[in-house]
Amino acid sequence: MDLHHRLGCSWLLALALLPGLSVAAGKCERLVVTGSPDAPPYLWQDPQNPKQLIGASADLLRQVAKELGLKVDLLYAGKRSQALDEVRSGRMDMLADAPMNLNELENLDYIHPPLLENDYLVWTRKGSTLVYSEARDLHGHTGGLSEKSRMTPAFGTFAEQQLTLTRTANLTQAFQKLLLGEVEYVLAGRYSGMAAAQALGMANDLLAFEQPIDRPGLFLAVSHNSACNDPWLRGQLAKKMTELPASGLTEAALQRNIERWKAQQQQPPQPPVSAPKQ
In the chain, the amino acid numbered 65 is A
Taking 70 as the threshold, does the pLDDT of residue 94 lie above it? yes
pLDDT for the residue 269: 59
Q: What SS3 class is residue 211?
A: coil
pLDDT for the residue 208: 97
Beta strands in the chain (DSSP E): 30-34, 38-39, 43-46, 49-54, 71-74, 94-98, 108-110, 116-117, 120-125, 142-146, 164-168, 185-189, 206-208, 217-223
Taking 50 as the threshold, does the pLDDT of residue 85 lie above it? yes
In the chain, the amino acid numbered 80 is R
Q: Which positions ≥6 away from 38 have C-beta within 8 Å?
A: 44, 45, 79, 148, 170
pLDDT for the residue 74: 98
pLDDT band at 117 (very low <50, low <70, confident <90, very high): very high
Closest residue by Cα to residue 146 from 114, 116, 189, 184: 189
What's the chain's length in residues?
278
Lowest-confidence pick of 20-29, 34-43, 147-156, 203-212: 20-29
Taking 50 as the threshold, does the pLDDT of residue 115 lie above it? yes
pLDDT, tens only, 50-62 = 999 999 999 999 9
In the chain, the amino acid numbered 249 is L
Mean pLDDT across 6-19: 44
Taking 90 as the threshold, does the pLDDT of residue 141 lie above it? yes
Mean pLDDT across 200-208: 93
Residue 19 CA to residue 30 CA, distance in Å, equals 21
Query: Considering the entire predicted model, what is its pTM?
Result: 0.83
pLDDT for the residue 179: 95
pLDDT for the residue 268: 66
Q: Is the dihedral of CA 32, 114, 156, 41 positive or negative?
A: negative
The mean pLDDT value of the chain amounts to: 89
Residue 184: count of CB within 10 angstroms of its CB: 20
* Rg value, the chain, Cα: 23
Q: In the beta sheet, which residues pair with residue 52?
A: 75
Taking 70 as the threshold, does the pLDDT of residue 102 lie above it? yes
pLDDT band at 28 (very low <50, low <70, confident <90, very high): confident
pLDDT for the residue 189: 96
pLDDT for the residue 24: 41
Closest residue by Cα to residue 33 from 24, 43, 47, 25: 43
Angle between helices 231-247 and 56-67 (to 10 degrees): 120
pLDDT for the residue 147: 94
pLDDT for the residue 209: 97
pLDDT for the residue 265: 85
The residue ranking higher by pLDDT, 268 or 203, is 203
pLDDT for the residue 270: 59
Residue 269 CA to residue 261 CA, distance in Å, equals 14
Q: Which positions ≥6 away from 246 have C-beta within 8 Å?
A: none
pLDDT band at 26 (very low <50, low <70, confident <90, very high): very low
Taking 50 as the threshold, does the pLDDT of residue 134 lie above it? yes
Q: What SS3 class is residue 163?
A: coil
Distances (CA, A) of 114 to 87, 197, 255: 18, 26, 19
pLDDT for the residue 277: 45
Mean pLDDT across 246-270: 88
In the chain, the amino acid numbered 113 is P
Taking 60 as the threshold, does the pLDDT of residue 146 lie above it? yes
Q: Where are the alpha helices (DSSP H) in 163-230?
A: 171-179, 190-199
